Amino acid sequence: MTKLTDLDSILLSTAAQRDTGSLLPAPETVSSAGARLTKAIAGLVKRGLAEERETSDKLATHRVDADVAYGLYITDAGNAAISITDGDAGGAGEAPAPSPAATDTPRITKAGTVLALLGREEGATLADLIAATGWLPHTTRAVLTGLRKKGHVLEKSKRGEQTCYRVAGVAA
């Protein structure tokens, strides 16, 4: 399920109640949010919960490019994020709702990649970790220290001339 901030929920709920599905104009309760409002709207577009489309409604205009005005509109994914089905919304976007498998896919993070490499039977060298994450050596060593502080037990061994690290478990 998509995690929404209060501001995200207010914007999407208001858009879902409008016949056009427009996020703009922002509700009076959040119109003074300024930069937070701009950041929230950008986040909704980035996550596919809102989309930019041409509009002729001056109140719904987000930006103007040459002579074309663009507004921001809730998508089907945005409606699904606030638990509205196709028949419930006044003005839904045209984008199809993502499948449940697509929305529940776990994020692949660099920290997760490091733990996966360290969890292998053969472990990982510092060079392996640097290649997988793109981090500098001092950053990679700092992550290893952070893992120790979080309770992971790291074993060190030698693979040729290189030190190899492996997660042996979590301290009790």
pLDDT digits 0-9 by tens, 49-107: 999 989 888 888 888 888 888 899 999 988 888 887 655 544 444 444 555 555 555 67
Based on the fold, state whether residues 40 and 97 are members of the same structural domain: yes
| Rounded (10°) CA dihedral 130, 133, 138, 141 | -80
Boundary of a domain, candidates 73, 103, 133: 103
Instruction: Kindly state whether residues 115 and 93 are assigned to the same domain.
Output: no
Is residue 1 domain-resident? no
- Asked if 93 and 52 count as a contact pair (C-beta separation under 8 A), the reply is no
Same domain, 72 and 121: no
Any idea what the CATH number is for the domain that residue 145 is in? 1.10.10.10
- Mean pLDDT highest for which of 1-10, 31-40, 64-73? 64-73
Domain boundary among 79, 103, 127: 103
Among the listed residues 55, 94, 54, the one whose alpha carbon sits nearest the alpha carbon of residue 77: 94
Kindly report, residue by residue over 96-154, the tens digit of the pLDDT.
Answer: 455 555 555 567 788 888 888 998 888 999 999 999 889 999 999 999 999 899 899 99
Please give the structure tokens belonging to residue 46: 């980035």
